[in-house]
């Protein structure tokens, strides 16, 4: 049998060994943690990020709507007569007054940087060269007609639509009273 002092000494040694082993394991595992990296530590999630993204989409939509209003909204309206003419009409030179383009080949449209392909009209000096107008004439098209002022030769608020031929002007345009909207006054600066 063991004496009490040996029993306690044996007990203390066992406890010490257990403590040393546990302490060693603890120290070695914490040492391992210091060498491992976790990229998710100290990262935060911005819960407002989705809201900001949605707001950007809404802002883009509002900007697009504002652009459409700017492009297609009427700046002013006029009432006048609509007539048609061709480049080979008796009083015509075949060249547009605003940009000296030769249209004797039957050209009756123009490619505008903002409005795309548009019809060509003559107006009085009431509308500056490069003005964009919109009008309706069921004799010509079921859709609204977008045109650019590139020629002169009419009076007041009248509009003269350039057509491929005098026959087309006579048969399809004729003379009618119209109200037209001005979408842009003059060339863009």
In the chain, the domains with their CATH numbers are 74-184 (2.40.40.10)
Look at 143 and 93; give whichever has higher pLDDT: 143
The pLDDT value given to residue 40: 60
* Cβ partners under 8 Å of residue 92, min gap 6: 85, 86, 153
Confidence (pLDDT) at 181: 96
Q: What is the pLDDT of residues 104-159, one digit of tens each?
A: 898 999 999 999 999 999 999 999 999 999 999 998 999 999 999 999 989 999 99
Contact 127, 180 (CB under 8 A): no
Range of lowest pLDDT (35-44, 65-74, 82-91): 35-44
Number of Cβ atoms within 10 Å of the Cβ of 130? 17
Which stretches of the chain are assigned E, i.e. beta strand? 76-86, 109-112, 116-122, 132-135, 145-151, 159-163, 175-184
What is the average per-residue pLDDT within 2-9? Answer: 63
Per-residue pLDDT tens over the stretch 33-59: 444 555 666 666 555 555 556 677 788
Q: What is the DSSP letter of 6?
A: H
Distance CA 99, CA 183 (A): 20
**Confidence at residue 150, expressed as pLDDT on a 0 to 100 scale:** 96
> Bigger pLDDT: 73 or 130?
130
């Amino acid at each position: 049998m063991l004496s009490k002092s040996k029993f306690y000494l044996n007990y203390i040694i066992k406890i010490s060994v257990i403590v040393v082993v546990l302490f060693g394991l603890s120290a070695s595992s914490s040492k391992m943690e210091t060498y491992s990296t976790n990229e998710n530590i100290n990262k935060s999630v911005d819960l407002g990020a989705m809201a900001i993204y949605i707001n950007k989409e809404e802002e883009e939509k509002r900007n697009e709507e504002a652009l459409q209003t700017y492009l297609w909204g009427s700046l002013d309206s006029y009432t006048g007569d609509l007539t048609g003419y061709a480049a080979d009409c008796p009083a015509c030179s075949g060249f547009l007054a605003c940009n000296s383009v030769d249209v004797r080949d039957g050209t009756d449209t123009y490619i505008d940087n903002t409005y795309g392909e548009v019809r060509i009209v003559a107006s009085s000096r009431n509308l500056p060269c490069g003005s964009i107008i919109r009008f309706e004439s069921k004799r010509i098209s079921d859709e609204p007609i977008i045109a650019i002022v590139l020629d002169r030769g009419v009076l007041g608020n009248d509009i003269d639509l350039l057509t491929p031929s005098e026959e087309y002007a006579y048969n399809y345009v004729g003379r009618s009273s119209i109200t037209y909207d001005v979408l842009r006054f003059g060339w863009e600066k």
